[in-house]
Structure 1
């Protein structure tokens, strides 16, 4: 069976089931027909037995049959398939319409075959209440019954064979038609490539049993398409982000090597190149971090942390930058979280650094902790110009930068901070979202209760 296709297997299964059902039905019909013939023959023999008993009821010796012989012969001529036999208690035949028939004379109905002819024999005492009564036997030729049953059995076998063949062909056709969506799915899967990930199967054209499979297949193609698009965009972003610093390094190196220069100029160029290389190293490190996060490879060393104390430590670290920009920072609320301290500090540092970059002079940064039945909620809010609603869904994309007009003059970033923050939050089972309205931008982090 392993070498057979699913269509062939289903066709053979349908054929076997049909053959079995047809055979059982044929056998039951054959048995019922045979029993029906037996019942009809018994009724006929009992009726004829009553008639013959009436003719010879008072016969006590063979000589007493002579006056009734004409009546017996006339009755037998009406039923040419019947044979009558009358025998005494000593076993001698008083009358036998077929001299060659030697069927046993036991009481009741029984079958007998002689010279290739089938008989159904019915024997009984001529006078049941007389122990010395002779015995009367009737034999019915049932050859035509047997021929009918034999023809019916041959017809049953022919029907079983033809129905099995027809069912096998129809079953194979039905299975092939029913499996056509799977063949279509195989064709689509075989043709999947980087340029054909948008192909989809119509789930309204398949049987209900395959709808979930088609939807799962389409969902898989959608995930592949989304992943490929993000990978392509990521590759393009990487190339774009790396091209500028590499071009700067190449240009500065070519210029400085174009002619002999004082040692100070070489030293200054090396320092400049070092800054670019450090920026490239940080970018590569961030991208590796994101790659690990996407594949679930971030290893977290979780401990119960006092988030109030962690936020206070970060506010102290960023206070010189805030003072320089005349930005006030406040923290409210307390809470505890089972988290990796280093990873959590990195995520919160990214949010505070982002808030400081987009908060105008004299603005405010508010940090609020709130614990509830559904978990811990941390809000990092900064005043200033809001973010357009159409940009909010893209804030956590890699290398995405919001409108440069919103940013104060200062540090240039690669646009990986918020993506890293979201990866860290999700690694801890939480979610992060951004809301921007009425002069405030809020990053809301929600962690479930452990």
Structure 2
């Protein structure tokens, strides 16, 4: 199906609307003119009948009708459409004028209707209509007139409406021509005006076409933008801003991932090259394999975390959503980390609780990542507290540990992927750290909270550092 032009479609719509208006207005004017013409002609017929009756009533007898024929017929002279006929009580024609134009078609009664009595007033309500032999309509009035001797005559004043037909036909034709010309002119002017009005939209499209992979920082800027396009351009610029930001994050993520994967690979390659430089003992080769195995584990954890972040963007990622007791889950997590806490010389305590509807596996992973992170930075003899408490519309889980404070400049960025405050520590991850030391543990926590519609933020001072998970409660 061929695509339609918006400009042409709107122009046709305006032209159609204009034509419809012309038809409605023209029909109204045509009907109004036809009605007004009939009123005026009926008035002429009624006045002619009244004058004829008045003159007839002044006559003494029927013989005087012929004597005053010129005077009686003068009332319809000068108008070829008008005719007059006067008959006696027996129906014999006394006088007539121009009756050929108003003679009824065969089989038609003349007049087909009522006759005004001699004592009644002649009004337009007595007007009747029939068809002449030519097919043209004829409007007429029939009335009685009483002579002085008491004789009653019948007066018929008629008018052939063929000239009015022609007038209305010419008027209708002009309306057709005016309507067609007006619709065509409306289409042309609408097309030009709409095309000019859509020019800013074409400029927006041209500006958007200049945005490429190498120029994602380009924004749509159109001079004298119409108010109706402000929201569109603002939305497009916001979308480009998000794309630019996402692309930059992706580029940084790729660079960081390549850098972090290169480190263990370089370690394995360097250690292997040193070991192969000369013959080694079995213990040396065993130590090399153990070191390489640690680096492989590190790469596996890194790949697993990257895959987790990629899968987390799928809308069906959360599968184990149910209501559970937060205090019990925190207790299980603390029990799982008990051995690692003893090795680190730290104490893990659980405080508080509550009910929460969330994905249990993701909840455990988020808290485990925070707890593993706390174990890495808690000094020996320090304590870590897993605290939960309910609020009006949310539930907060806080992982608090003693240790050196985090600078305020890092508090928000520590949740970015591959961001690390202390790069020197990244090459020595502790066993059992679910997030590893690759800078993905806290990023995973933030992703999990976003999946639940919640938030995560960090607070740090000289006393302790606190990671706060805020889960909404439906």
Task: Give TM-score, length-normalised by structure 1.
Answer: 0.85
1:37 paired to 2:56: no
Between the aligned partners of 1:414 and 1:390, the Cα distance in structure 2 is 20
Partner of 1:439: 463
Note the residue ranges of structure 1 that are not aligned, 5 or more in a row: none
Residue 298 (structure 1) aligned to one of 293, 300, 317:
317
Does structure 1 residue 283 correspond to structure 2 residue 307?
A: no
Look up the match of 1:422.
446
Aligned residue in 2 for 1:349: 368
Q: Which residue of 1 aligns with 2:124?
A: none
- Give the equivalent residue in structure 1 for 2:225: 205
**Separation (CA, whole Å) in 2 of partners of 1:175 and 1:244:** 61
Tell me by how many angstroms 1:33 deviates: 0.8
Q: 1:410 to 1:274 in 2, by over 3 A?
A: closer
Q: Measure the CA separation in 2 of the matches of 1:144 and 1:337.
A: 92
Tell me the alpha carbon deviations over residues 353-383 of structure 1, each in whole angstroms, 9 at most, x when there is no partner: 2123223455443332212332322111123
CA distance in 2, matches of 1:270, 1:94: 142
What SS is found at the alignment partner of 1:380?
Answer: strand
Q: CA deviation at 1:147?
A: 3.6
SS of residue paired to 2:409:
helix
Tell me the distance in 1 between the aligned counterparts of 2:322 and 2:159.
102
Q: State how far apart, in whole Å, the 2-side matches of 1:33 and 1:305 are.
A: 84
Q: Are the structure 2 counterparts of residues 317 and 111 from structure 1 closer, same or farther at C-alpha, using a change threshold of 3 Å?
A: closer
Is the aligned partner of 1:22 residue 2:22? yes
For residues 144 and 111 of structure 1, the distance between their equivalents in structure 2, rounded to whole angstroms, comes to: 16
> Over residues 18-71 of structure 1, what are the superposed CA-to-partner deviations in whole Å (9 max), with x where a residue is unaligned?
212211221221111111111111112211222121222255865322432353
Q: How many residues align?
A: 449
In 2 relative to 1, CA 157–248 (structure 1 residues): closer, same or farther, beyond 3 Å?
same
What residue number does 1:236 align with?
A: 255
Note if contact 1:178-1:207 (Cα within 8 Å) is conserved in structure 2.
no
Identify the residue that residue 169 of structure 2 maps to in structure 1: 150
Q: Aligned partners of 2:336 and 2:440: how far apart in 1? A: 21
**Which of 402, 420, 443 is the matching residue for 1:401?**
420
Following superposition, the deviation at residue 297 of structure 1 comes to 4.9
Offset at residue 162 of structure 1 (A) = 0.9
Which stretch of the first structure deviates more once superposed, 351-360 or 292-301?
Answer: 292-301
Contact 1:57 1:127 in 2 (8 A): yes
Q: CA deviation at 1:395?
A: 1.4
Separation in structure 1 between the aligned mates of residue 462 and residue 278 of structure 2, nearest angstrom:
57
Partner secondary structure for residue 98 of structure 2: coil
> Bigger shift: 228-237 or 80-89?
80-89
> Do the aligned partners of residues 341 and 36 (structure 1) sit closer, same or farther apart at CA in structure 2, a change above 3 Å counting?
closer
* 1:56 equivalent in structure 2: 56
The alignment status of 1:68 with 2:68, answered yes or no, reads yes
**Secondary structure, counterpart of 1:398 in structure 2:** coil
Q: Residues 126 and 135 of structure 1 are in contact (CA less than 8 Å); yes or no, is this contact kept in structure 2? A: yes
Farther off after superposition, 241-250 or 417-426: 417-426
Shift of 1:267: 3.0
Relative to structure 2, which stretch is displaced further, 397-406 or 11-20?
397-406
Contact 1:60 1:133 in 2 (8 A): no
Per-residue CA deviation, residues 300-330 of structure 1 (Å, 9 max, x unaligned), is 4355544434434444554565556554543
Deviation of residue 117 (structure 1)? 7.9
Q: TM-score, normalised by structure 2?
A: 0.81
Question: Secondary structure at 2:68's aligned position in 1?
Answer: helix
User: Against the structure 1 CA distance between its residues 272 and 100, is the aligned structure 2 distance closer, same or farther, given a 3 Å change threshold?
Assistant: closer
Per the TM alignment, residue 151 of structure 1 is displaced from its structure 2 partner at its CA by 2.3
CA distance in 1: counterparts of 2:163 and 2:429, whole angstroms = 114
Q: Name whichever of 22-31 and 191-200 sits farther off.
A: 191-200
Q: Which consecutive residues of structure 2, in runs of 5 or more, have no partner in the other structure? A: 105-109, 116-126, 431-435
Q: Is the 8 A contact 2:61 2:151 kept in 1?
A: no
> 112-121 or 433-442: which moved more?
112-121
Q: Secondary structure at the residue paired with 1:414?
A: coil
> Aligned with 2:437: secondary structure?
coil
Query: Does 2:395 align with 1:376?
Result: yes
- Contact kept in structure 2, 1:358 and 1:406, CA below 8 Å: no
Which of 160-169 and 316-325 deviates more? 316-325
Partners of 1:112 and 1:309 lie apart in 2 by 103
CA distance in 1, matches of 2:340, 2:130: 117
